[in-house]
């Protein structure tokens, strides 16, 4: 039963150790044949909690805590504290999320909450924030980026598998620019698949917004961040006679108006990150249907 202790410690410190929860939950799941069913349920409930923390709805988050609290283990455990939703004030969430999106970073299902929702980002320059997210994906020999590609391949349409593999290889080789138009096509295709629409471009994003309005209680920070990124940047209408926008723009790229010399590796990484966000939204859609 010692293998459960890291999980129990992580639950008590979930805000500081979000990534530890995921790792330990996965580790316990792998050895579930050797521990009691109740322990396995604790691991799965813990993993679910890390997902629920990304839902902007106090009832949904409290339900996740209550689920864990209801699991009975033959262990001497402290009572689980009542969750104070005020720490996750919606205005604060939106302010930080909108700021991160202004730099092109959306929230994924595998990204630690305490990495994405940092108040200090509000006072940081864009390139400083870029460095934080680049480091997240590239540290330890690109372990998080490789995990992202693996998870996206498992969660999105199989037809994109080869493009995703090649995108990873090209990124690691420093030849990321060729992946950018392809990844934009994947994003648009997956968005249309998730919301079941035959529309494209800005009209597709508008339909995405309408779908979010219809399911307010299931809205996630991830869904909000994706919508803001699409509406205000990637799919934004921008006249071809005007100056280039700071972030990538779907119309300018796919219609041959953009200048590839301006594309950077963080642009390719942002698109891969966005695909991971869509994968997370797709998981929620499947779970709720």
SS (H, E, C) the chain: CHHHHHHHHHHHCCCCCHHHHHHHHHHHHHCHHHCCHHHHHHHHHHHHHHHHCCECCHHHHHHHHHHHHHCCCCCCCCCCCCCCHHHHCHHHHHHHHHHHHHCCCCCCCCCCHHHHCCHHHHHCCHHHHHHHHHHHHHHHHHHHHHHHHHHHHHHCCHHHHHHHHHHHHHHHCCCCCCHHHHHHHHHHHHHHHHHCCCCCHHHHHHHHHHHHHHCHHHCEHHHHHHHHHHHHHHCCCCCCCCCCCCCCCHHHHHCCCCCHHHCCHHHHHHHHHHHHHHHHHHHHHHHHC
Alpha carbon distance 267, 173 (integer Å) = 15
Best CA proximity match to 35, nearest among 6, 5, 3, 11:
3
Q: What is the pLDDT of residue 45?
A: 53
Which of 208, 181, 189, 185 has the alpha carbon at shortest distance from 268?
181
Q: What is the pLDDT of residue 8?
A: 41
Please state, rounded to an integer, the average pLDDT across all residues of the chain: 77
- Report the pLDDT value the prediction gives residue 94, as an integer from 0 to 100: 83
Phi-psi region for residue 248, left (φ > 0), alpha (ψ -120 to 50) or beta?
A: beta
Question: Given pLDDT bands bounded at 50, 70 and 90, which one contains residue 48?
Answer: low
Round to whole Å and give the CA distance between 31 and 278. Answer: 30
Q: What is the pLDDT of residues 144-166, one digit of tens each?
A: 999 999 999 999 999 999 999 99
Residue 227 has pLDDT above 60, yes or no: yes
Region 89-114 average pLDDT: 89
Tell me what pLDDT residue 222 has.
87
From residue 129, alpha-carbon distances to 16, 33, 53, 88, 132 in Å are 19, 42, 22, 21, 5
Give the pTM: 0.72
Direct distance between the N- and C-terminal alpha carbons of the chain, in angstroms, rounded to an integer: 36
Report the range of poorest mean pLDDT among 95-99, 124-128, 204-208, 215-219: 215-219
Q: How much is the pLDDT for 93?
A: 80
Which residue, 68, 36, 31, is CA-closest to 49? 68
In this predicted structure, the answer to whether residue 76 has a pLDDT above a threshold of 80 is no
Q: Which one is predicted more confidently, 177 or 66?
A: 177
Q: Which pLDDT value is given to residue 102?
A: 96
Cβ proximity of 225 and 97 under 8 Å: yes
pLDDT for position 85 = 39
Q: Between these two residues, 231 and 285, which has the higher pLDDT value? A: 231
Stretch 37-42: mean pLDDT, rounded? Answer: 46
Please state, as a whole number, how many other Cβ atoms lie within 10 Å of the Cβ of residue 218. 16
pLDDT of residue 65: 52
The residue ranking higher by pLDDT, 68 or 252, is 252
In this model, does residue 40 exceed pLDDT 60?
A: no
Position 284 confidence tier, pLDDT thresholds 50, 70, 90: confident
Sequence-distant (≥ 6) Cβ neighbours of residue 131 within 8 angstroms? none
What token pair was written down for 105? 């970073």
Strand partners, 220: 55
The confidence score (pLDDT) of residue 25 equals 39
Q: Tokens at residue 143, please?
A: 């372990």
Q: CA 190: distance to chain centroid?
A: 15
pLDDT of residue 247: 97
Residue 1 reports pLDDT greater than 50? no
> Is the pLDDT at 133 greater than 50, yes or no?
yes
187 or 84: which leads in pLDDT: 187
Output the pLDDT for position 219: 55
């Amino acid at each position: 039963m010692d293998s459960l202790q890291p999980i129990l410690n992580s639950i008590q410190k979930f805000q500081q150790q979000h990534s530890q929860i995921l790792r330990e939950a996965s580790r316990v799941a792998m050895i579930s044949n050797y521990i009691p069913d109740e322990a396995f349920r604790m691991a799965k409930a813990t993993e679910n909690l890390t997902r629920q923390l990304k839902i902007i709805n106090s009832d949904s988050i409290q339900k996740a805590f209550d689920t864990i609290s209801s699991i009975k283990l033959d262990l001497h455990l402290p009572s689980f504290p009542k969750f104070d939703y005020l720490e996750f004030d919606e205005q604060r969430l939106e302010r930080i999320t909108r700021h991160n999106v202004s730099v092109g970073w959306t929230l994924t299902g595998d990204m630690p909450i305490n990495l994405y929702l940092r108040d200090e980002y509000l006072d940081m320059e864009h390139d400083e924030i870029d460095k934080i997210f680049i480091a997240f994906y590239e540290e330890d020999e690109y372990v998080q980026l490789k995990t992202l590609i693996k998870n996206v391949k498992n969660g999105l349409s199989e037809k994109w598998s080869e493009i995703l593999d090649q995108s990873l290889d090209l990124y690691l080789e420093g030849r990321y620019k060729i992946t950018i138009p392809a990844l934009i096509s994947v994003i648009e295709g997956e968005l249309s698949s998730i919301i079941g629409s035959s529309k494209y471009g800005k009209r597709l994003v508008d339909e995405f917004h309408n779908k979010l309005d219809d399911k307010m209680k299931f809205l996630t920070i991830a869904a909000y961040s994706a919508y803001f990124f699409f509406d205000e940047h990637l799919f934004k209408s921008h006249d071809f006679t005007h100056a280039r926008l700071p972030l990538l723009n779907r119309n300018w790229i796919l219609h041959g108006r953009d200048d590839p010399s301006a594309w950077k590796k963080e642009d390719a990484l942002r698109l891969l990150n966005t695909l991971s966000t869509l994968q997370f939204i797709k998981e929620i859609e499947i779970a709720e249907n």
